[in-house]
Amino acid sequence: MEGLLPAMRPGGQARCITVSSRLGRITKVGKEWRPQFLSATLQVEELSRLVQRFLDAVREEDCIGQGWPTHVRESALSCHEHCLAWANVQCCAMYSPISQAYSVSKVAVNALNRVMARSMASVDTAAGVPMCHYYACCPGWVQTAMGGPDAPKTIEEGADTPIWLCTTPLSGLINGGFYGERQRQGKQY
Ligand SMILES: NC(=O)c1ccc[n+]([C@@H]2O[C@H](COP(=O)([O-])OP(=O)(O)OC[C@H]3O[C@@H](n4cnc5c(N)ncnc54)[C@H](OP(=O)(O)O)[C@@H]3O)[C@@H](O)[C@H]2O)c1
């Protein structure tokens, strides 16, 4: 995100839209980690350290012990049951152990979205430095290579909120906010 800044136009209108996921809601990580990801004083360096802690736990094969719960454990459903409950499909990658890394990566990118929004909020555009506005969003479950053919949304429908975030007046958006279906989502993102 920081690397994109030199490419942004000056004038205070630049935007950076991150396609995240609702699977990155804060409850996907253990209670001990949540205040750290949500902290109003979080900086990029500390966020990197938090992600490194997750990677360390993966290497030590101690994710659950260190408070990085899986979807399955969180819901007390088996993987298969969870897939059926969630999407009426057989087991899929969304609820495999890989999904734990997916969720942590999205929790982290949502946090980065907020960190960047805060850091840019005080930038002096008069000095020619491009101020940038940051928004994250979930496209919904979309028929892409990742989402698969059973997803309810077409690719065009999945692109709707990201494009809306690019084009809707800034005055109607919350810098650092998380959106889905053109609506600001709750504080769990
Ligand atoms: N589809 C859904 O239901 C859904 C739901 C929620 C959120 N999302 C999010 O939407 C975004 C787009 O996903 P999608 O559904 O369009 O998935 P996709 O069809 O699998 O496309 C993923 C894209 O990411 C690229 N990519 C993957 N790993 C990369 C890497 N290491 N470096 C550079 N490029 C890489 C792929 O490039 P190649 O084609 O070259 O491999 C591909 O273009 C993702 O952030 C995803 O998490 C999707």
Chain segment 45-54, per-residue pLDDT in tens: 999 999 999 9
Residue 98: per-residue pLDDT: 61
The answer to the question of residue 107 being in a domain is yes
pLDDT of residue 88 exceeding 60, the answer is: no
Nearest to 109 by CA among 10, 8, 28, 182: 28
CA 19 – ligand 1 centroid, Å: 9
- Measured CA angle at 92 (ends 188, 150), to 5 deg: 90
Q: How confident is the model at residue 75 (pLDDT cuts 50, 70, 90)?
A: very low
CA nearest ligand 1 atom 3, residue: 141
CA nearest ligand 1 atom 43, residue: 145
CA 146 – ligand 1 centroid, Å: 7
Mean pLDDT over all residues of the chain? Answer: 84
For the chain, the residue count is 189
CA 23 – ligand 1 centroid, Å: 14
pLDDT of residue 72 exceeding 90, the answer is: no
Q: How confident is the model at residue 131 (pLDDT cuts 50, 70, 90)?
A: confident
Residue 82: per-residue pLDDT: 46
Residue 83: per-residue pLDDT: 43
Q: How confident is the model at residue 133 (pLDDT cuts 50, 70, 90)?
A: very high
CA nearest ligand 1 atom 13, residue: 146
Task: Supply the CATH number for residue 107's domain.
Answer: 3.40.50.720
Class of residue 76 by CB neighbours under 10 A (exposed 0-12, middle 13-18, buried 19+): exposed
The answer to the question of residue 136 being in a domain is yes
pLDDT of residue 155 exceeding 50, the answer is: yes
Residue 62: per-residue pLDDT: 85
Whole domain around residue 38: which residue ranges? 2-184
Residue 67: per-residue pLDDT: 85
Q: How confident is the model at residue 96 (pLDDT cuts 50, 70, 90)?
A: low
The answer to the question of residue 189 being in a domain is no
CA 123 – ligand 1 centroid, Å: 31
Pocket of ligand 1, beta carbon within 6 A = 19, 21, 138-139, 141-142, 144-147, 151
Q: How many domains, in total, are found in the chain?
A: 1
CA 175 – ligand 1 centroid, Å: 24
Phi-psi label, residue 137: left if phi above 0, alpha if psi -120 to 50, beta otherwise:
beta
The answer to the question of residue 126 being in a domain is yes
